[in-house]
Amino acid sequence: MPEAPTKTEHAGPGRPRAFDEAEALRAALTVFWEQGYEATSVDTLIRAMGISRSSFYGCFGSKHGAMLAALRRYADDSLDRLAEVAAAERTPRAAVRAMIHAMVTTKDAHRGCLLVNCISELAARDAEITELIQRHIARVERLLAETIAEADADGAADRARALVSLTLGAITLRKAGLPPEQVDAALNRAEPLLPTA
């Protein structure tokens, strides 16, 4: 993947300073992930991103614009990671199982999934966030369905949707603090939905 272009920020008269837009966006993503959208102020974002207020507005337009950009990056990175996880497995069944595990497993269970967090905080009142989340879920479902269909095309799309629903529930349970073994027991119910080989 090509590197994001470097933006030029003016730190003062005659002193241009370059900043890495991708790095700034990663910092914004972390803040939104840890604090949520409403609790995050523009000042907090600017400090975390290490850029000036004018550069922030010039690059992202608003806090909402920064949130959308961060979510797009998160969604794209997540989908790329799932595709890599699937490609590393030798059978469709193993690939689907590995993708489900990758979606649910995280080092920081208390933070959960940024997209799932946005569903509960923003989706009911933010059409752009809702559309972005729906588009990402559709892409995940498509990846799962295509992998399932490699071994068993019958009902692949419906099975993929059921797997995503179960996975989103498991992510929420983990964030709620349920013991990992209980979450794993729930995920084991997905076995009949997996490809036959």
Q: How many domains are contained in the chain? A: 2
Q: Per-residue confidence at 79, pLDDT binned at 50, 70, 90?
A: very high
Residues 79, 136 contacting (CB under 8 angstroms): yes
Distance CA 109, CA 178 (A): 10
| Whether residue 55 is found in the same domain as residue 101 | no
Angle between helices 21-35 and 114-121 in degrees, nearest 10: 60
Q: What is the phi/psi pair of residue 4, to 5°?
A: -70, 145
In this predicted structure, what is the pLDDT of residue 16? 43
| Domain interval for residue 57 | 1-61
In this predicted structure, what is the pLDDT of residue 108? 66
pLDDT, tens digit, for every residue of 119-150? 989 988 999 999 999 999 999 999 999 999 99
Residues 45, 66 contacting (CB under 8 angstroms): yes
In this predicted structure, what is the pLDDT of residue 97? 94
C-alpha distance from residue 19 to each of 32, 63, 159, 173 (Å): 20, 18, 44, 38
Q: Per-residue confidence at 113, pLDDT binned at 50, 70, 90?
A: confident
Query: Is a pLDDT exceeding 70 seen at residue 103?
Result: yes
Residues 168, 117 contacting (CB under 8 angstroms): no
Query: Is a pLDDT exceeding 60 seen at residue 31?
Result: yes
| Whether residue 75 is found in the same domain as residue 112 | yes
Q: What is the DSSP code (8-state) at residue 2?
A: P
Distance CA 15, CA 188 (A): 58
| Whether residue 56 is found in the same domain as residue 121 | no
Query: Is a pLDDT exceeding 90 seen at residue 80?
Result: yes
| Whether residue 93 is found in the same domain as residue 147 | yes
| Whether residue 165 is found in the same domain as residue 71 | yes
| Percent of the chain whose pLDDT exceeds 70 | 89
Tell me the CATH number at 74: 1.10.357.10
pLDDT, tens digit, for every residue of 147-183? 999 998 999 999 999 999 999 999 988 888 889 889 8
Q: Which of 13, 28, 61 is the last residue of a domain?
A: 61
Indicate the pTM of the whole model. Answer: 0.85
Query: Is a pLDDT exceeding 70 seen at residue 17?
Result: no
| Whether residue 93 is found in the same domain as residue 173 | yes
| Whether residue 86 is found in the same domain as residue 118 | yes
